[in-house]
Amino acid sequence: MVRRNELIKEIRNMTATVADAMAAVSLFVGYEEDERDALGGCKYEADVIRDSIIPLKERLYEVLDCIREDWNAIIQNDLLCNDVKTLLEVCSGFHKKAFEFDEATVLYPRVVEGLLGDAWLPRAYLVLMYEWEDEASAIREYVMKNCGLGTPLDDPFRGIASRLRHFFTGVTDEEFEKFVMNGVSLAVKPRWMSDKRQAVVMGKLLGKSCKDMNDSFLFCKKDGTPVLLNYTQNGPKLEMDQYEIYGVIKPLIGVTDRKRQQ
């Protein structure tokens, strides 16, 4: 129990510090180049963001292990349950900050890479929080019912179009949800803008056939010539969880079944 409380405190402090750094970097990258030069950069904030993601991830998953180990005691003690509630609220708030950070920096990849050393680091924070909240979903459901968390489970389809904007655009959250849930082909048939292996990973995770994907997306060769996606020829060469789109789509897995039962 002592270690769990220490972790909750560390996570609360760490997420607050990183969120402040994210806010500063979000403002900085939006300035014109001469303004950024005049300001002299934001090295401290960039260092905080770059150096915190691994220790934050380690603490998030360690605290889940602690909660599971102490679960029988937690569900019999309102104070302990409230501690878990506090953790979930902190993480939910940080998740929103990570989403805002990704939104604010996505248009400035070169500036972000210069600051953080990795243009995709903002997305890595967002994926981390999606995956962690998915892992903690059963705990959250119990706490909602028994500890007065008072907010519904986040709809994983809310903001999904924005999170997939590196792969395709022009589709609303509602349209993508209908594609996933009801097999409704995307009317706009957006052009797939990323590696076709990412498309195969998404299709297989969502249980979509190759025909479903070709009916809803336009795939092209490098010269712009349309071409059909082929699950065999374009299949992933690595494990699926090594592809960026895996972290974006994973929160939808299982939720689709729960939604159909509602």
pLDDT, position 121: 93
Q: What is the CA radius of gyration of the chain?
A: 20
* Side-chain-facing half-sphere of 148: CA atoms under 13 Å: 4
The amino acid present at 242, given as its one-letter code, is Q
Q: Is 252 exposed, middle or buried (0-12, 13-18, 19+ CB in 10 A)?
A: buried
Find residue 186's DSSP bridge partners. none
Give the pLDDT confidence score for residue 41 in this predicted structure: 67
Nearest Cα to Cα of residue 103 among 157, 163, 148, 182: 163
Three-state secondary-structure class, residue 220: strand
Contact 249, 205 (CB under 8 A): yes
Q: d(Cα 30, Cα 80) in Å, to the nearest integer?
A: 43
Check residue 153 and give its pLDDT: 44
Report pLDDT for 17: 95
pTM equals 0.58
Res 234: pLDDT? 95
Whole-number pLDDT of residue 1: 67
Please list, in sequence order, all residues whose beta carbon lies within 8 angstroms of the beta carbon of residue 179, skipping any fewer than 6 positions away: 185, 186, 216
The predicted structure's pLDDT at residue 28? 85
pLDDT of residue 43: 86
Residue 216 host element (H or E): helix 210-216
Around Cβ 12, how many Cβ atoms within 10 Å? 17
**pLDDT for residue 255:** 59
Ordered per-residue pLDDT tens for the chain, 262 residues: 678 889 999 999 999 999 999 998 988 887 777 666 555 668 889 999 999 999 999 999 999 999 999 888 888 888 888 889 889 999 989 998 999 899 888 888 888 998 899 989 999 999 999 999 989 988 888 887 776 544 444 577 888 888 898 899 889 888 999 899 888 888 789 999 999 999 999 999 999 999 999 999 999 988 889 999 999 999 999 999 888 899 889 888 765 555 444 4
Q: Which two tokens stand for residue 106?
A: 């996505």
> Cα separation of 187 and 194, whole Å?
20
Which pLDDT belongs to residue 251?
Answer: 80
- CA distances from residue 102 to 98, 121, 122 in whole angstroms, order as listed: 6, 9, 5
pLDDT at 36: 63
Q: CA torsion sign, 202 to 182 to 92 to 89?
A: negative
